[in-house]
Amino acid sequence: MHRAAIVIAAVALFAALAPAAVGGGVYAEVVSPTGKVLAVADGPSFDFPADGSLVHIGSAEASPGGVMLADVALFGSVVQATQLYLPSGRREPISGTIAAAGQLFEPAPNLLVPLGAGGYAVVDQRAKSRGRIGRVGLRLVVGRAAFGVPAGTQVLLGVPAAARASRSGAVHSLTRVEPLAALGFSSADASFLGFTAARSATSGSIGSRAAAIAERYLGVPYVWAGASPITGFDCSGLTMYIYAQLGISLTHYTGAQFTQGLRLSREELEPGDLVFFDGAADPQHEGIYIGGGRFVHAPHTGDVVKISSLDEAGYGFGFVGAVRPYGAG
């Protein structure tokens, strides 16, 4: 074989075997509190804003199995990782060590990492609906205005279910994000589950805003008597926490919340309404309706905040009513 042909063949073989620089899929998103995607990363490195104070990723390499991120620093380096491997397989473990708020953490499903007044991070956040698993490698929620972004801004690191084509640059400006796609669901799955675009947490009706806020906490673990994304939620603690952000006070007890608002039938449901189960006089479980016959709730010990259908066994047959907390009681 001619020497030039041998060199070309060797280069081609190396290119086929070596990890490729990310160019066919998004591995990081910065999302505003209203659901607007401020920036996405799909190139060999990423900084946001330009100085990298909120997000810095020194290098990103893709392989068929996932994405390797190196030199990761978030929120002014409060969260750091020398290397973080995010697998494309939904059930494969994330590898790497994360340093956050002066402690070292090994990735584990739905690991909550408090960051004090700065907010919190969720490592390997997972949510499930009708057998489909959505996943984010690391989700950072900014708790106070900093680095040019308002409180409630989120940073998401992960491997998308469906890669988005990219021909130039590491950062692209988008306008909307599907909330379940942000958890690793494909657009088709998001549509199947009743979502077409993110609701706004700062505009629209009170109920629509409550539903948008509820979607932020998918994957947060269930904790009995919990009422915080940092420590976990129980069913009434989740709804109480959501409506507190809208200036509406609810009691941390399902039976009490069943009386705190306008009573509704299933046919009258709108996003943001509270749905109750198991016990017509004194309901034992509740969630927040998000449309399409589905609701967000914190089910029980060992589970996480997730989306379920009113028609699922154990919920549809146990549905006893609904309440609109901002309606007349």
With a CB cutoff of 8 Å and minimum separation 6, the contacts of 216 are 141, 154, 201, 229
Give a yes or no: residue 221 inside a domain.
yes
Q: How confident is the model at residue 163 (pLDDT cuts 50, 70, 90)?
A: very low
* Domain span holding position 223: 206-324
Same domain? For 114 and 227 the reply is no
Q: What pLDDT does 271 receive?
A: 94
The closest of 86, 118, 87 to 101, measured between CA atoms, is 118
Q: What one-character DSSP code corresponds to residue 146?
A: B
Same domain? For 76 and 158 the reply is yes
Q: What pLDDT does 143 receive?
A: 77
Higher pLDDT, 158 or 71: 71
Q: Average pLDDT in the 239-262 region?
A: 94
Same domain? For 61 and 34 the reply is yes
Q: What pLDDT does 313 receive?
A: 59
Q: How far is CA 198 from CA 34, 36, 142, 179, 260, in A?
A: 8, 8, 19, 6, 27
> Lowest-confidence range among 42-51, 219-228, 257-266, 288-297?
219-228
Q: How far apart are CA 310 and CA 302, in angstroms?
A: 21
Same domain? For 185 and 214 the reply is no
Same domain? For 29 and 123 the reply is yes
Same domain? For 183 and 258 the reply is no
Boundary-marking domain end, from 137, 161, 192: 192
The pTM of the full predicted model, rounded to 2 decimals, is 0.60
Same domain? For 118 and 239 the reply is no
> The domain that contains 279 carries what CATH number?
3.90.1720.10
Q: How far apart are CA 48 and CA 142, in angstroms?
A: 14
Boundary-marking domain end, from 192, 216, 235: 192
Q: How far apart are CA 117 and CA 115, in angstroms?
A: 6
Give a yes or no: residue 9 inside a domain.
no
Give a yes or no: residue 292 inside a domain.
yes
Q: What pLDDT does 188 receive?
A: 53
Q: How high does pLDDT run on average in the chain?
A: 78
Q: How far apart are CA 155 and CA 222, in angstroms?
A: 23
Higher pLDDT, 191 or 165: 191
Is the distance from CB of 182 to CB of 35 less than 8 angstroms?
no
Same domain? For 319 and 257 the reply is yes
Same domain? For 187 and 248 the reply is no
- In this predicted structure, the answer to whether residue 119 has a pLDDT above a threshold of 90 is no
Helix (H) or strand (E) holding 15: helix 3-17
Q: Average pLDDT in the 265-271 region?
A: 95
Same domain? For 136 and 259 the reply is no
Same domain? For 188 and 214 the reply is no
Number of domain units in the chain: 2
DSSP line for 239-293: HHHHHHTTT----SSHHHHTTSSEEE-GGG--TT-EEEES-SSS--EEEEEEETT
